[in-house]
Amino acid sequence: MGGLIVPPHTLLGIHGGKSLIIPFPASSTLFPRPPSTFFRPIYTSAHPSCLFPRAVTLLSGAREMLFGARASAQPTTEEMVEDKTAENPVTGDSIRRRFLNFYASRGHKLLPSASLVPDDPTVLLTIAGMLQFKPIFLGKVPRQVPRAATSQRCIRTNDVENVGRTARHHTFFEMLGNFSFGDYFKKEAIKWAWELSTKEFGLPVDRLWVSVYEDDDESFDIWHDEVGVPVERIKRMGEEDNFWTSGVTGPCGPCSELYYDFHPERGCSDADLGDGSRFIEFYNLVFMQYNKMDDGSFEPLKQKNIDTGLGLERMAQILQKVPNNYETDLIYPIIEKAARLANISYPLADDQTKTNLKIIGDHMRAIVYLISDGVLPSNIGRGYVVRRLIRRAVRTGRLLGIKRDGEGAFLPSIAETVIELSTYIDSDVKARTPRILDELEREELRFVQTLERGEKLLDQMLADAILSSDKNGTTPSLSGKDAFLLYDTYGFPVEITTEVAEERHVKVDMDGFNVEMENQRRQSQAAHNVVKLEVENGGDLAENVSDTEFLGYDTLAARAVVESLMVNGKSVLQVSEGNEVEILLNKTPFYAESGGQIGDHGFLYLAECESRQSAVVEIKDVKKSLGNVFFHKGTIQKGILEVGREVEAAVDAKLRQRAKVHHTATHLLQSALKKVIGQETSQAGSLVAFDRLRFDFNFHRPLTESEMETIEELINGWIRDATVLQTKVMALTDAKEAGAIAMFGEKYGEQVRVVEVPGVSMELCGGTHVSNTSEIRAFKIISEQGIASGVRRIEAVAGEAFIEYINARDSQMKRLCSTLKVKAEEVTSRVENLLEELRMTRNELSTLRAKAAVYKASVISDRAISVGTSKPVRVLVEYMDDVDADSLKSAAEHLVEVLQDPAAVILGSSPGEGKVSLVAAFTPGVVSMGVQAGKFIGPIAKSCGGGGGGKPNFAQAGGRKPENLSSALEKARGDLISILTQKAS
């Protein structure tokens, strides 16, 4: 068996600054900086095929015990994996690099990972490696290369509850993929997958199993006859397991999967590839060869494609010989950091503690990469995904007992480890460190306050459950719905809810809780785990129409040919006067909406000829679709437009100038924000319109008046400098090295357009811009507000829109001066005086109303009745016409004072149309009997179409159904008398 195997977790320092696709240098430079965990390898012939040296760490104490006591959980005789190089330990980074280099040597273009925020409206997040190639698979955009390979960052949250509980479920993972776009197909994909697995990664052939679709004889024959896999290790499986579909209709095809066998000694008889304790599926090959039609039939695709996925974390588990994905060097350092903060030894921990540490290790990866890609916590969409993961990490950490000094947050400390591990996954993460850590700290501290509110709510729920059981003579129980509310809204772990409830002898309806959890899981699956691919009507159009040539950087007018006309989504040959139409031209000066800038307006003119009349089309919008095809949306104002005719396309020059001014001003605004509030702020969205600009940015607080003034001064100064803009096309890598900023949400090719205001701003941008900053004329912020947690929005005007804004405000000021009969400089003081007079008048009116209500109360006080025998209670329930809420409160306070303790007063009124006001005031003697005003008033308000509550001695409520008030008060009177008669007898 040999000696102890040092797990790969000691290889924490193998993370340098090299590019993803550049091979490592010689082993002597494998560590470009001192590793965070240092070990001295001791090789032994007793264990020649061991992947990792039998090491003695230089660390002592618990750290030494942590690594020294942990042996491989997998068999070590006839080692599972060949040790390819003693100098190159099999790290997650090396697996990624070797995969990409393998396919690069076979003609694949290595492409970067797409953002976790996909350029696809059908999914919230990037959930698969193929997502960025979806338009190519659909035939909507031409392929740029015949074959490609990627290491794609992915997020899936449909099985979030299984994270940490199984060996392989993750919210964040990396999918290594090789793709063919109508190039190679089954034979090459299968042979390369086998070669990669057995030769490059050295997996023993007798441990590999294969699955194929039950009817896919072609794949079966390739695996058996050409690759040489024994028949007994090829499993035919059904449609559910081995036939990939993109949706109800669309591209689809059979799959073939590679499995690794951890226990070959169990033999081939009755082997079940679904047995997770024995097999792990690590490579999936999708043969996209059919199009599924509406009637369920299949037709062959014109272009057959290959879409594969190899799970990096799964391959790391196999090659590093650890019992689960979490204990690979991709995740374990994060778990180790959390364990240290909790003062826990992971190897010595119980199963539940290990599960909690795994949850933190997994979630922190997802959180860091989501925030890095611009997804900030919120209550909707992608923001809710990251907020939910943060909350799960925080409450899991609290279960482990992780605490920081004082009231500080602990997630940023763990995030630092994730960022250290990010070098080869996404080189931009480290540059965004300040933003990531700041956002995590704010969100965690905010959530801790929510957790504390949840504790108070739980206490109230348990008290209500006990009170209800006392009334009904039943066993106290907390509903599953309430337990789920605490879990989902307040982040309160159900384990703690159950534990606290048991201490109070209250049962928790876990069946009901599980029902609520399952409902949420189904909704999550529907929202996050479907990639919709459909061959739509536009498919044929895409094959016939090439990209539109854009001329608008250099000219605002050009002659073009009408290539296609569409009315209500259907292609037509001609369109007559009065109809709305979408027009495709072979070239155009019109800018199509993108990068936040709206599409141009203008006209298309068709000259009259001998046999055809003239036509005029007003263009009100231009959008891109099917890749880079421009759709001109407009109305036929005159004549008939036909496919094939030549038109004169003319952009509205005044509106284009407004857009150019606002777009350049947006670039200046981003630079000014970075100078004033910090370089870590970044764009989170934008709108460049004719009448204004809108800029969303990541920041945790409102801007001060002083900051906004400074921003305006900077921008107007740059405008006065009359700087000439420089625009050039260059390689994306060169642009980034030069310091160009990417626009939020935009996707870039290898060649990019860079717009620079020398000394001020440099951004990747395809929009239209002024040639000189002086064209902007002036800049003014008109509003600044928060639109989501950690996201602010500035709206501003520049150029002609600035003049219009100032003129409109001047006109309003003149009218105000005329109305108030004061000069402009006196308006503020005059308005302040008027507001003070109004405040005093309202106070006087309120005082008079309160006095009137107290008088009315004095008149009805003799209507109180006494209930009970041992200590009679004075009870008064009355309707007080149209008395407002504040006056009703004064009346109730007066009545309990007059009636003296013990007394209970309930008053109701209808202060306006569709309004109900209620108040309940109970003296200490009534409260001591267990009757509380806050709880008693709730049902009354509910029957009046409202709600409310308060303290045991005093409560207020409202409603929207005054027609129900009389009967509600009558019922309240009866219930109150009944309860107090029983309590006071």
Judge if the upstream peptide bond of residue 902 is cis by omega within 30 degrees of 0. Answer: yes
Burial of 366 per CB tally in 10 Å (0-12, 13-18, 19+): buried
Q: Are 563 and 548 in contact (CB under 8 A)?
A: no
Long-range pairs, 29-32, Cβ under 8 A, ≥24: 30/87, 30/88
Number of Cβ within a 10 Å radius of residue 494: 17
Q: What residue ranges in 626-699 does DSSP mark as E strands?
A: 629-638, 640-642, 646-651, 683-688, 693-698
The number of residues making up the chain comes to 985
554 contacts: CB under 8 Å, gap ≥ 6: none
Distance CA 604, CA 582 (A): 12
50 is in an annotated binding site: no
Reading phi first (left if > 0) and then psi (alpha if -120 to 50, else beta), residue 368 is in alpha
User: CA 959: distance to chain centroid?
Assistant: 37
State the pairing for strand pair 873-879/726-731: unpaired
DSSP letters of 900-937? -SSEEEEEEE--STT-EEEEEEE-HHHHTTT--HHHHH
Supply the angle between the helices 933-943 and 965-983 in degrees, to the nearest 10.
150
Bridge partners, 615 (sequence order): 606
| CA–CA dist 478, 510 (Å, integer) | 9
Tokens coding 515 = 């029902």
In angstroms, the CA 440 to CA 446 distance is: 10
- Picking from 711, 698, 702, 700, the residue whose alpha carbon sits closest to that of residue 666 is 711
Residue 667 annotated as binding site: yes
What the block records as the tokens of 442 is 């704010």
Residues 6+ apart with CB under 8 A from 730: 738, 751, 752, 754
Q: What are the backbone dihedrals phi and psi of residue 375, each rounded to the nearest 5 degrees, phi first?
A: -90, 115
Question: Which tokens hold the place of 573?
Answer: 């040959």
Other Cβ atoms closer than 10 A to 923? 20
d(CA 671, CA 678): 10
Distance from C-alpha of 399 to C-alpha of 496, rounded to nearest angstrom:
8
Task: Answer yes or no: is 663 a known binding residue.
Answer: yes
Residue 662 annotated in ligand binding = no
- What are 605-609's contacts with CB under 8 Å, separation 24+? 605/647, 605/648, 605/650, 606/639, 606/641, 606/645, 606/646, 606/647, 606/648, 607/648
Phi, psi at 794, each rounded to 5°? -110, 130
Is the distance from CB of 218 to CB of 271 less than 8 angstroms?
no
Residue 750: exposure state from Cβ atoms within 10 A (0-12, 13-18, ≥19): exposed
Residues at the binding site for Zn(2+) are 663, 667, 765, 769
Per the annotation, binding residues are 663, 667, 765, 769
